[in-house]
Structure formats: C-alpha cells, structure tokens
Amino acid sequence: MANARTSRPKLLRALKTWRHRYTALRVLSQSVSIGLLLAVPFSGLARVDFWAGRHFLLGERVSVKLALAGVIAGIAALYVVTFLSNVVAGRLFCGWGCPVGQVSRFGEQADLPGQNRRQRMGAHVLGAFYSAAFVVAMLAWWVDLRVLYAGGRGALAVAWGLLTVGAAGAYAHGRWWRWEFCKQVCPIGLYYTVVAPARYFGVHFRNQHDTCIECNACDHVCPVDLKPRELMAPVGDRGGLAVLDAPGHSHCIECGDCIRACEFMIQKRGREPVPLLLGWYGGPQRIDAPADASPRDQTDTKAA
C-alpha cells in the first residue's frame, strides 16, 4: 500500500508531463470498450426494456424472456472475447479495456501532487463523466435510454436515480478502493490468474545490463504492487481472493505503467535500448541461470 500511496502518484505526475504513445492508445481502447457496450443494445442485437416494453433480439421485437436470454448470451459472448484475449495476451484487458480499471485510473488523477485547484477539479469532472458514461452503457442493456428525457415523472426519477447512484458508486470506487479491487477481489481477474495465463504476450525484462539503471521506478509505479523485472517469480500473500504463490506474470494487468516509467528514466539518462518491454515473446521470461547467479543475472534470450 505504501507504493500506491506515495511513490506511484509522484511518478505518475512526472509521467504526465511527458507525451507518450500509450495515452492515445488508452483513449482508443476505452472508447472501444464503451462503444461495444453501447453497440449491442443500440443495434437491437439484445435489449430488455423495463420502461416501454420494447424488447429486442437480433433486431426484432420479441418477448421479455427471449430478450433476457439474448442479453445473457450477449454478456457471455463479451466474456468469451475477453477470455480468448487472456489466452493470448494475459490480463491485457484488465489493464487496457476494463472500464472499472479506467475508473480507478481517473480517480487517482485528482490526487497527483503538484496540481492546482483547476487541474484537480478537471480531474474530478473527467472521472465523473467517464463513470457516468460507463453506467449509461450498462443501463442501455436494460432500458431504452429515451427514458432519461421522455419518461414520466416516476420513470425519470428511477432512471436518473439509478444513473446518479451508479455513477457516484463507480467514481467512489475509483477514488478510494481503486487497484485493491483488481489485486484482491475482482472475480474475472482471479479467474484469469488461474486459467490460461498468456504464454505469448506480456511485460518482460530483457535484462540489458548496460541500460537498466536499477532505479526501481517500474516497481514503484506498478498499480498492483508487482516487480515487473521479476514476474516469473511466485508472489506471496496479496490478501483477499488472490491466488497464493502464483507467478507475478499471472497477476500482472499489463497496463504499461512500468513500461512508461522505464522509458522515461532510461531516456533521461540517454540510454538504449529500453530493457522493460510490453509485447510478444517466446518461451519463459528468463531462462534458468547458473546456481551462483543472482536473479538479475538471468537473461531472456527468447524475448522478441
């Protein structure tokens, strides 16, 4: 917890002043996630409408039972997509596509040191707006969103009440619970930790002796308190529902924060190549080292 409360905010503040390709990629990935959530009900593929009773399945008006079955099938299909991505790329969805994780990311922006009042207020507004967008996207599966402006007095009260409570709850999560949920409680993350961890993609350390400056910025910036250079080592008790002694690679959400920190520190020193990478690789992160070698002396000869 000390890492998340002290070192991470300071590093994030420094990284915020440095333009990085991940910023645009994260906007794109989150837009895709929210867009997919909205696309299913808006297209009529599946939607239950508890307001006007206009239930849809595959673009056709159907009974509530069929529409409910379609919604359940749609949720299952989205899960299958994320599961298949897990087989190839580990918990990449957790770090890039999960709206809950993004709410946490927005929530901590307001706590970054060195911001003025306007910047903090802007961070709060942005986080609240995203939280509301996330709740609207989920609400659209269960009701025609026209209820938010065309419903009767009772329907308006219920719809806006749900939206307000949901958005407030989501943003409160991002402000105070944040990454502890990802570390200890998230059932999807727990499942991904055990089932089909990625073998082809992830964070890996090339162990470049001439470029790694041992600054430990990657360790300090990790939102789930891992050691990015030692992800093949088993991780101890993390509390909650986290799997005991699973390798760090299985817990890694592949958000790329450690990569940004590594690139930032390495480029400040004028070094290259960057030793910490997020991408494709073959085989384990490190090969077995001689018995007298330290963990940092092991080399991953198969990293791509």
Tell me the mean pLDDT in the region 47-73.
Answer: 95
Q: Answer whether residue 2 shows pLDDT above 50.
A: no
pLDDT of residue 284: 46
pLDDT of residue 197: 59
Q: Which residue has the higher pLDDT, 242 or 246?
A: 246
Q: Answer whether residue 72 shows pLDDT above 60.
A: yes
Decide: residue 1, CB within 10 A, 0-12 exposed, 13-18 middle, 19+ buried.
Answer: exposed
Read off the pTM: 0.85
240 near 183, Cβ under 8 Å?
Answer: yes
Q: Answer whether residue 55 shows pLDDT above 90.
A: yes
Q: Answer whether residue 273 shows pLDDT above 90.
A: no
pLDDT of residue 292: 39
- The listed range with the strongest mean pLDDT (5-14, 32-41, 231-240) is 32-41
Residues 6+ apart with CB under 8 A from 106: 123, 126, 127, 130, 131, 171, 174
Tell me the mean pLDDT in the region 29-35.
Answer: 95
Percentage of residues in the chain having pLDDT higher than 90: 56
Tell me: the pLDDT tens digits for 207-241?
Answer: 677 788 899 999 999 999 999 998 888 887 777 66
Which pair of tokens denotes residue 249?
Answer: 């690679």
36 near 78, Cβ under 8 Å?
Answer: yes
- The total of other beta-carbon atoms located within 10 Å of residue 221's CB is 26
Tell me: the pLDDT tens digits for 276-287?
Answer: 989 887 544 443
Give the whole-angstrom CA distance, residue 198 versus residue 79.
Answer: 16
pLDDT of residue 247: 81
Q: Answer whether residue 91 shows pLDDT above 90.
A: no
- According to DSSP, the residues that pair with 61 across neighbouring strands are 56
Q: Answer whether residue 3 shows pLDDT above 60.
A: no
Residue 61's H or E segment, with its range, is: strand 60-61
- According to DSSP, the residues that pair with 280 across neighbouring strands are 201
Decide: residue 188, CB within 10 A, 0-12 exposed, 13-18 middle, 19+ buried.
Answer: middle
- Domain boundaries of the chain, sorted by first residue: 2-190, 198-297
Q: Which residue has the higher pLDDT, 209 or 42?
A: 42
Tell me the mean pLDDT in the region 140-153.
Answer: 95
